[in-house]
């Protein structure tokens, strides 16, 4: 299978790239002109990457692309402008869909977020959530013409080795390993934590199931189907780290409009034969090991 992958340098994208190559897929990548692909070349060898300014040329050079897997995103952190978030999360993928339809690409797989919910209005990462919702609606609009298949994968709380140190799970692991005093909310809110290995398996399962299925919109929640209190998750992190960290639950207020229980409905994925395989404790251990290995490399 020949696949065009966006966001290959990101947390999810790097794991998807490794999985696709392991399946002997021919993988093309899009990247910004300023993106450093050195770490990917070092790990995977020669790869074919195209600048985002060359999108049209990708499809004229490779008319046999079978699917686009869109994992690129801009969270709106680090003072990222609304224009940058809009371009990365709406304008860029809309252009990709437009070109895919023009060049008869059969399938577009989109990585959505559990923040995109009609049940709760959550202010956290508001520009990111707004842009993801808009693009999901654009994808559904385009798919309803019957000219392309659009599979929307709503990712729940993704975690695992290789994620950015500022993200919630690696940050908690790092601070527990350091024995810090950590101010937290009450921790009563519940999240569906899904390990990166299970998420990648879900994407590949959908990709193979949707290939050749034809036009239309399909939705899949990507989570375990079980939610866990934040408090219980962090206490498990502390225990597995054998940590002396002091956890100050209730020291911080909850964010406005925060989800009290975010849990995936996994029936659609399970009908394809997918099941989650990485338990919470085993998953947390992979993060602890990864952070420990990265610390050794920097000393």
Confidence of residue 125 (pLDDT cuts 50, 70, 90): low
Confidence of residue 123 (pLDDT cuts 50, 70, 90): low
Structural tokens at position 276: 């989650």
In a domain, 178, yes or no: yes
What local confidence, expressed as pLDDT, does residue 119 receive? 56
CA-based nearest residue to 13, from 91, 69, 81, 77: 69
Is 128 an active-site residue?
yes
With a cut of 70, say whether residue 298 has pLDDT above it. Answer: no
CA-based nearest residue to 10, from 153, 223, 199, 164: 164
In a domain, 242, yes or no: no
- Segment 211-220, tens digit of pLDDT: 989 899 999 9
CATH no. for residue 149? 3.40.50.720
With a cut of 80, say whether residue 296 has pLDDT above it. Answer: no
In a domain, 224, yes or no: yes
- Segment 153-173, tens digit of pLDDT: 999 999 999 999 999 999 999
With a cut of 80, say whether residue 251 has pLDDT above it. Answer: yes
Stretch 105-129: mean pLDDT: 78
Confidence of residue 281 (pLDDT cuts 50, 70, 90): very high
In a domain, 161, yes or no: yes
What local confidence, expressed as pLDDT, does residue 129 receive? 86
Report how far residue 270's alpha carbon sits from residue 278's, in angstroms, rounded to the nearest whole number.
15
Stretch 128-147: mean pLDDT: 93
- Segment 218-248, tens digit of pLDDT: 999 999 999 999 999 999 999 999 999 999 9
Stretch 61-68: mean pLDDT: 96
Q: Cα–chain-centroid distance for residue 82?
A: 20
- Which residue range is the domain that position 103 belongs to? 2-228+253-297
What local confidence, expressed as pLDDT, does residue 126 receive? 77
- CB contact at 8 A, 2 and 22: no
With a cut of 70, say whether residue 122 has pLDDT above it. Answer: no
Number of domains present in the structure of the chain: 1
Catalytic residue among 25, 122, 124, 128: 128
pLDDT, the chain, mean: 93
């Amino acid at each position: 299978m020949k696949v065009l992958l966006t966001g290959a340098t990101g947390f999810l994208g790097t794991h998807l790239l490794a999985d696709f190559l392991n399946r002997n897929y021919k993988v093309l990548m899009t990247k910004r002109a300023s993106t450093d692909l050195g770490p990917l070349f070092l790990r995977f060898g020669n790869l074919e990457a195209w600048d985002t300014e060359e999108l049209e040329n990708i499809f004229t050079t490779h008319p046999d692309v079978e699917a686009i897997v869109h994992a690129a995103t801009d969270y709106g952190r680090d003072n990222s402008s609304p224009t940058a978030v809009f371009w990365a999360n709406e304008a860029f993928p809309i252009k990709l869909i437009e070109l895919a339809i023009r060049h008869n690409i059969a399938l577009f797989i989109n990585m959505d977020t559990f923040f995109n919910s009609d049940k709760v209005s959550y202010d956290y990462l508001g520009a990111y959530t707004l842009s993801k919702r808009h693009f999901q609606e654009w994808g559904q609009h385009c798919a309803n013409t019957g000219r392309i298949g659009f599979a929307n994968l709503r990712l729940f709380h993704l975690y695992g080795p290789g994620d950015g140190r500022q993200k919630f799970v690696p940050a908690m692991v790092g601070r527990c390993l350091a024995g810090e005093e950590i101010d937290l909310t009450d921790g009563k809110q519940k999240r569906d934590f899904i390990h990166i290995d299970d998420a990648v398996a879900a994407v590949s399962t959908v990709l193979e199931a949707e290939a050749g299925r034809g036009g239309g919109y399909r939705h899949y929640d990507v989570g375990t189907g079980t939610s866990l209190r934040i408090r219980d998750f962090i206490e498990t992190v502390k225990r597995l780290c054998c940590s002396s960290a002091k956890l100050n639950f209730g020291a911080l207020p909850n964010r406005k409009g925060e989800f009290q229980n975010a849990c995936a409905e996994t029936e659609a994925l399970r009908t394809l034969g997918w099941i989650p395989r990485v338990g919470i404790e085993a998953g947390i251990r992979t993060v602890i090991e990864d952070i420990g290995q990265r610390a050794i490399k920097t000393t």
